[in-house]
Amino acid sequence: MKINYLKYLFILALVFPAFVAKAQQNDDLLNVLVKKNVISEQEADSLRSDEAIKAQKKKDQDVANQHSITIGTRALQISGLLQTEYEGFEQSSKTNTFLLHRARLDVKGNISDAWSYEVYTEFAGVNPKLLDAYTTYKIFDFLKLTAGQFKVPFSYESLVSDSELEFIDRTQVVNALAGRSTDVIGNQNGRDIGAELTGSFAKVNDHYLFDYYFAVVNGAGYDVTTDNNNHKDISGRLVIHPIQNLSIGADFYHGIDQFIVGTAKTATNNLRNRQGIDARYVWNKLSLTAEYDKGTDAHINRNGWYGQAAYFVWSNKLQLAARYDTYDPTQTITTDRTTDYTGGINYFFNKWAKFTVNYIDAREQTTQIKNNLFEAQLQLAF
C-alpha cells in the first residue's frame, strides 16, 4: 500500500512538537487520527517508529555528552580530573592529612582529520601548572608528528593516565627514573618540551602489531620557559602486540641534564640515561603488569622493578589489586634497597567515579623504619 508522503510529512510536522513534550499524548493523538480515518494504521506505526528512533538517538547523544562539552565537530572537548586523598602514616613524626592530590582541567579537540591538540592544566598545589600543551599532525596511522609539551615516551606506568592507575601512587622505580617525584632532575610529572614522532603499523585483524615513539626534548622538564643547557635528550619506545590484550614494550632515554651530584652545592651537566622493558596482559577481569627499569645518573647506577595484578571480583564494580615494588637507588651500596608490598581495593560507582584504598607495607634492606602507609582516595573524572 502506497503512502501519501506529503500528507505524511504534514502530519509529522503537526505531531512532532507535541511528541517531544509528551509521548503519551502523541500516541493518543495518533489513535484519534486513525479512528477518524485521517491517517492509516500503517502511517501511524511509521510515525511512532520514526519518533522512537529519533528519541533513542537523542538519548545516546545525551549520554555521550554527559561528561564533556563538544563545540563544533570534535573541535573542543572539555574534561577534568579531581582526586581527594587521605594519608595515614605509621611514623609518629608525620602528620595524617587530607590533601588535594590532583585537580586538573583538560581541553582538547580535533580541528580536522589531520590536526589535533591538547592543553592540560594542574590546579592542585600552590600555583597552577601547565602539564600538556601540544599539537599533533597525523599524516598516516604509522606517522604522526607532535610538538610542544607532552609525556616523554619512557616507562609503561609513567605513560598511563593518572585516572586509570590501579593504585593511588606510582612505583618507586618509575618515580625515580621517569622524571617524576624522586628523579634527580626533580618532579617533572614525566613530561618535557620538544618534538615526537609516533605511529602504529603492521595491522593484523583489528589491531596493530607495533607502536613506536621517538622524541627529542630539552631535558629541562615541563612548565619552563627555556632550556638549561645546549644538549638535547632523546627517548624512544617500541611496543609489540603479538596477540590482543598483550603488550610488550622496550624503551630508552639518553640525556645530558643539570642536577646536583653527591654533596655538590650547585647543579652541573651530567649523564642521565635509562633503559626499560615492560609487559601487560588483560584477560576478562584480570590484568597483569610488570616493568623493569635501570638508569645511570652521572656515575650512580640505579634499578628496580614491579609486578602487579588486579581482578574484578564483582562485576565491573569491585576490584582487588596487589603489587610487589622494589628499588635500589645505588647499586654499589648493597644495603639501601627498599621494597613495598601494596594491597588495594577499587570500587567503581560508575565509569567516572572511583574510590580507592591502598595499604603499603614498606620494608628496608637493613634498618627497618615504621613507615607503613594507609591511603584512601576519591576520584571523579568528568
Sequence-distant (≥ 6) Cβ neighbours of residue 15 within 8 angstroms: 26, 29, 30, 47
pLDDT at 206: 83
Tell me how many domains the chain contains: 2
pLDDT on residue 45: 76
Same domain, 344 and 296: yes
User: Which pLDDT tens digit goes with each residue over 129-163?
Assistant: 999 999 999 999 999 999 999 999 999 999 999 99
Same domain for 47 and 159, yes or no, is: no
Rounded to 10 deg, the angle between the 5-21 and 41-64 helix axes is: 50
Residue 158 belongs to domain spanning: 65-381
Q: Do 59 and 69 have their domain in common?
A: no
**3-class state of residue 96 by DSSP:** coil
58 and 74 in a single domain? The answer is: no
Regarding whether 162 and 91 lie in a shared domain, the answer is yes
- Does 322 lie in the same domain as 259? yes
Q: Do residue 94 and residue 36 come from a single domain?
A: no
Residues 226 and 238 in one domain: yes
- Contact between 203 and 178 (Cβ < 8 Å): no
Same domain, 46 and 173: no
Report the share of the chain in percent with pLDDT over 70. Answer: 88
Does one domain contain both 44 and 172? no
Residues 250 and 178 in one domain: yes
What confidence tens digit (pLDDT) does each residue in 165-219 have? 999 999 999 999 999 999 999 999 999 999 999 999 999 888 899 999 999 999 9
Which CATH number is 88's domain given?
A: 2.40.160.10
User: Half-sphere exposure of 295 toward its Cβ, with a 13 Å CA cutoff?
Assistant: 32
**pLDDT tens for each residue of 218-241:** 999 999 988 999 999 999 999 999
pLDDT tens profile 38-63:
678 887 777 777 777 776 766 666 55
The answer to whether residues 27 and 108 belong to one domain is no
